[in-house]
A and B are shown apart, each in its own frame.
Chain A
């Protein structure tokens, strides 16, 4: 920062914009502050999911077989489809931000709509997957039942009581280990889904505001910041998908 001259520049006009909130000097400062704030929020979210993902790693390390077995009962084709849907929604979101930047109201609304629809498809598929788990008695703590045969035949040995990595520790039975996997599955995807639902609500709000000409090429910060959020939520899925669905599929022979 340079030390400014004490003279006040009074001839520059036009810079001041009605969209500048009282605490800021100008649009640029306002924009910079919002984006830094949003990034700080994203950092916070990263730490939030990191806590859960650490739990995942710990248990995957403790219960490797159960994780492979559990993972193999997840619906890979459907979730692959969902991954594509979600990544497309990131694209439409980016296009929406671009449209806002250019001040194309209709295009902005269209792309927001597309994002909303894609997000809803994702959530719909997720609901279907959850329902499927319910039907197969895979809801941990509620109706969980695990037939061990399916994995034991694969390995050729009946490991109902798998050996611990640390022989001093008594290992819980495989079914309980798989239950832990499903617990984490629901917690991780559930936390992700909640973020999607919140995102969907915000899209709706933004659409209403956009409809009433709340934004302009000078002022589209909220859309840009929301875009950041939406991309973040997508990236979380990019981590969850391989961690949950693709665990050592080859090792287990796949389904």
Chain B
């Protein structure tokens, strides 16, 4: 094992000191307009990154309030009503404003064109629009919170949301609706881009697995998001006009809402995790210096998850009164969907086997992803069995399960991505020492926060309770969890400091500091040029060709950037599937 960064970079970028490229997307204009009206996918990614990071910490603040309240069995810090509003705000902000857009809108935006050898996404203006729609949605969310919030939970269950909740339900729904549209725009953009804009020679099975992950995610987005959009609109319509759709008092059917909601929201959990899995494939390949084991299995498992993921929503509804037979079928299919997830874990492990492992910061995050995802996934299988779920449903066991997959996996993958592509995005290296420190603190803090929740959930602690004075003996678990969340907060806050510091004082990264494979590393400068490549690449090798020392013979398409577009490529070069 090798933990020394210089040995990673030396193997590839030689000994000469790295220099910043003279022209890149960051210095292509400094005024506000050049950012706010940009159609450059890289700048839009940065815009997203800023907003998303902000909302991650907003969501974190609400989480801190929840954890503080639960230190003592009595509800003493917040009132019941405020507590409801706090956990709703936490869930809604984290899911709609952070997790769903997190990796696709930032790293997907930034990297997909670079990885497939294109100048930009297929629809750059739609891309910018999606950011504005997201920003609008976030402003609405903030307004809701400032006005006093909502108390329905992020799940908006009817008839609570249609008839009983007080608070700004309709405004929240409008905000969620816009957030959904923003991700639909991104999804459409990715699908068209991945299908039609790949460089010559970049066949489907030469795509980095990261791109496959985003492709599967985009399919889920365009198939699922509209359904939750309409379900939420119907809630708003029912609430405003008193038209009966979901409220039984008006002749409606509350279970119908749950079906519509989970038809999207189960696949949505894969929107959150599939791009992260793509990140892990890249990182594991790079820091094991090996071709990712079982490439096609990983690629197809993403597609399998996307498709089968649409057939399992009923596992959220075992105790809703849905038919037992439906429950049995849903249970079975839920077991099945765990298989492609497991395939990925096995393949990553096999990739590391006999690899040359470098324990750089992104790799530490990737390893902790694998560990935490196993726990999250296996407890998911526990919940998938109906008999167990009758006991565990709506307890902290579920809370722990989904935090292992959403924070332990998706957020960890996001941080792996931040640390892996930071040199590419900014052109600078961050402090490796602090990077590793933050990764390890995060891992420890995370487990300290959420392992106790499995226990207390198993013992029967219901979720969304602010008072557990009926069982004060649980306090030890809650206190441990709150302690852990403090550690976790340190782990999350640290990168803000050393990454910001690196923007100014960081070592110049050079084109390929990790010695990684892939067009974004091998053909684009750090930071990349405005139109990504000086010469448009032609691909003649598979992804992760770590066993071949350098990219085979490098070929270029005859176009450099916008100016020389008048030289058209040959027809063979532009045959797109």
Q: Which residues of B contact A251 (CB under 8 A)?
A: none
Q: Is there contact, CB below 8 Å, between A36 and B250? A: no
Q: Is there contact, CB below 8 Å, between B192 and A37? A: yes
Q: Which residues of A contact B538 (CB under 8 A)?
A: 3-4, 6
Q: Which residues of A contact B229 (CB under 8 A)?
A: 48, 51
Q: Which residues of B contact A152 (CB under 8 A)?
A: none
Q: Is there contact, CB below 8 Å, between A180 and B251? A: yes
Counting chain A CB atoms within 10 Å of each CB, the highest count among B122, B252, B555 belongs to B122
Does A101 sit within 8 A of B, measured CB to CB? no
Given contacts A4-B573, A22-B565, A29-B574, A62 and B253 within 8 Å (CB-CB): yes
Taken residue by residue from 15 to 32, chain A's Cβ proximity to chain B (1 for < 8 Å, 0 otherwise) reads as 110001111111011001
When chains A and B are docked, how far (Å) is the Cα of A40 from the Cα of B575?
21
Partner of B195, one of A36, A41, A183: A36
Does A55 sit within 8 A of B, measured CB to CB? yes
Q: Is there contact, CB below 8 Å, between B570 and A9? A: yes
Does B381 sit within 8 A of A, measured CB to CB? no
Given contacts A51-B260, A187-B237, A25 and B251 within 8 Å (CB-CB): no
Q: Is there contact, CB below 8 Å, between B197 and A187? A: no
Partner of A9, one of B226, B565, B568: B568
Does B401 sit within 8 A of A, measured CB to CB? no
Does A161 sit within 8 A of B, measured CB to CB? no
Q: Which residues of B contact A47 (CB under 8 A)?
A: 222-227
Does A130 sit within 8 A of B, measured CB to CB? no
Q: Is there contact, CB below 8 Å, between B569 and A9? A: yes
Does A218 sit within 8 A of B, measured CB to CB? no
Does B119 sit within 8 A of A, measured CB to CB? yes
Does A72 sit within 8 A of B, measured CB to CB? no
Taken residue by residue from 464 to 490, chain B's Cβ proximity to chain A (1 for < 8 Å, 0 otherwise) reads as 000000000000000000000000000
Q: Is there contact, CB below 8 Å, between B567 and A4? A: no
Taken residue by residue from 163 to 199, chain B's Cβ proximity to chain A (1 for < 8 Å, 0 otherwise) reads as 0000000000000000000001001110111011110
Q: Which residues of B contact A13 (CB under 8 A)?
A: 566, 568
When chains A and B are docked, how far (Å) is the Cα of A5 from the Cα of B198?
16
Q: Is there contact, CB below 8 Å, between B192 and A43? A: no
Interface stretch, picked from A91-99, A171-179, A207-215, A236-244, is A171-179
Q: Is there contact, CB below 8 Å, between B200 and A4? A: yes
Does B256 sit within 8 A of A, measured CB to CB? yes
Given contacts A23-B120, A44-B225, A180 and B241 within 8 Å (CB-CB): no
When chains A and B are docked, how far (Å) is the Cα of A41 from the Cα of B130?
14
When chains A and B are docked, how far (Å) is the Cα of A140 from the Cα of B195?
46
Q: Which residues of B contact A1 (CB under 8 A)?
A: 198, 200-203, 575-577
Does A250 sit within 8 A of B, measured CB to CB? no
Q: Which residues of B contact A52 (CB under 8 A)?
A: 230, 234
When chains A and B are docked, how far (Å) is the Cα of A54 from the Cα of B123?
32
Q: Nearest Cβ in chain B — how far from A192, in angstroms?
A: 13
Q: Nearest Cβ in chain A — how far from B524, in angstroms?
A: 15
**Chain B minimum-CB-distance residue to A54:** B260
Does B519 sit within 8 A of A, measured CB to CB? no
Q: Which residues of B contact A48 (CB under 8 A)?
A: 226-227, 229-230
Q: Is there contact, CB below 8 Å, between A177 and B251? A: yes
**Chain B minimum-CB-distance residue to A50:** B227
Instruction: For chain A, residues 145 to 180, give those with C-beta under 8 angstroms from any C-beta of chain B.
Output: 172, 176-177, 179-180
Instruction: For chain B, residues 283 to 300, give those with C-beta under 8 angstroms from any C-beta of chain A.
Output: none
Does A198 sit within 8 A of B, measured CB to CB? no
Q: Which residues of B contact A63 (CB under 8 A)?
A: 251
Q: Which residues of B contact A45 (CB under 8 A)?
A: 226
Does B33 sit within 8 A of A, measured CB to CB? no
When chains A and B are docked, how far (Å) is the Cα of A48 from the Cα of B224?
9
Does B112 sit within 8 A of A, measured CB to CB? no
Partner of B250, one of A15, A176, A184: A176
**Chain B minimum-CB-distance residue to A43:** B222
Q: Which residues of A contact B555 (CB under 8 A)?
A: 4, 6
Q: Which residues of A contact B17 (CB under 8 A)?
A: none
Does B557 sit within 8 A of A, measured CB to CB? yes
When chains A and B are docked, how far (Å) is the Cα of A39 from the Cα of B555?
33
Q: Is there contact, CB below 8 Å, between B245 and A9? A: no
Given contacts A4-B573, A25-B569, A44-B226, A37 and B121 within 8 Å (CB-CB): no
Does B559 sit within 8 A of A, measured CB to CB? yes
Q: Which residues of B contact A36 (CB under 8 A)?
A: 191-192, 195-196
Q: Nearest Cβ in chain A — how far from B168, in angstroms?
A: 20
Q: Which residues of B contact A6 (CB under 8 A)?
A: 538, 553, 555-556
Q: Which residues of A contact B463 (CB under 8 A)?
A: none
Q: Is there contact, CB below 8 Å, between B576 and A29? A: yes
Q: Which residues of A contact B243 (CB under 8 A)?
A: 140-141, 179-180, 183, 186-187
Q: Is there contact, CB below 8 Å, between B234 and A25? A: no
Q: Is there contact, CB below 8 Å, between B565 and A172? A: no
Does A59 sit within 8 A of B, measured CB to CB? yes
Partner of A37, one of B122, B559, B576: B122
When chains A and B are docked, how far (Å) is the Cα of A37 from the Cα of B127?
12
Q: Which residues of A contact B201 (CB under 8 A)?
A: 1, 3-4
Q: Nearest Cβ in chain B — how far from A25, in angstroms?
A: 5
**Chain B minimum-CB-distance residue to A48:** B226
Q: Is there contact, CB below 8 Å, between A9 and B558? A: yes
Q: Which residues of B contact A22 (CB under 8 A)?
A: 119-120, 531, 562, 565
When chains A and B are docked, how far (Å) is the Cα of A211 from the Cα of B462?
65
Given contacts A16-B565, A141-B243, A41 and B570 within 8 Å (CB-CB): no
Q: Is there contact, CB below 8 Å, between B196 and A51? A: no
Q: Nearest Cβ in chain B — how far from A188, in angstroms?
A: 11
When chains A and B are docked, how far (Å) is the Cα of A186 from the Cα of B258?
22
Counting chain A CB atoms within 10 Å of each CB, the highest count among B195, B226, B229, B575 belongs to B226
Does B244 sit within 8 A of A, measured CB to CB? yes
Given contacts A4-B555, A37-B189, A179 and B225 within 8 Å (CB-CB): no
Q: Is there contact, CB below 8 Å, between B251 and A176? A: yes
Q: Is there contact, CB below 8 Å, between A8 and B557? A: yes
Q: Nearest Cβ in chain A — how far from B149, in angstroms?
A: 26
Q: Nearest Cβ in chain A — how far from B515, in angstroms?
A: 25
Q: Is there contact, CB below 8 Å, between A29 and B568? A: no
Q: Which residues of B contact A21 (CB under 8 A)?
A: 124
Name 6 interchain pairs, CB-CB below 8 A, sorted by A.
Answer: A1-B576, A7-B570, A22-B531, A37-B192, A47-B224, A49-B230
Q: What 3 A-B pairs come out closest when comparing CB atoms? A: A8-B558, A141-B242, A183-B243
B interface with A by C-beta (< 8 Å): 113, 118-124, 126, 184, 187-189, 191-193, 195-198, 200-203, 222-227, 229-231, 234, 237, 241-245, 248, 250-253, 256, 260, 531, 538, 540, 553, 555-559, 562, 565-570, 572-577
Sample of 16 more A-B contacts, CB < 8 Å, known A10-B558, A36-B192: A1-B198, A1-B576, A3-B540, A4-B200, A15-B568, A16-B567, A21-B124, A22-B562, A33-B123, A37-B122, A37-B126, A48-B230, A51-B260, A58-B256, A141-B250, A142-B241
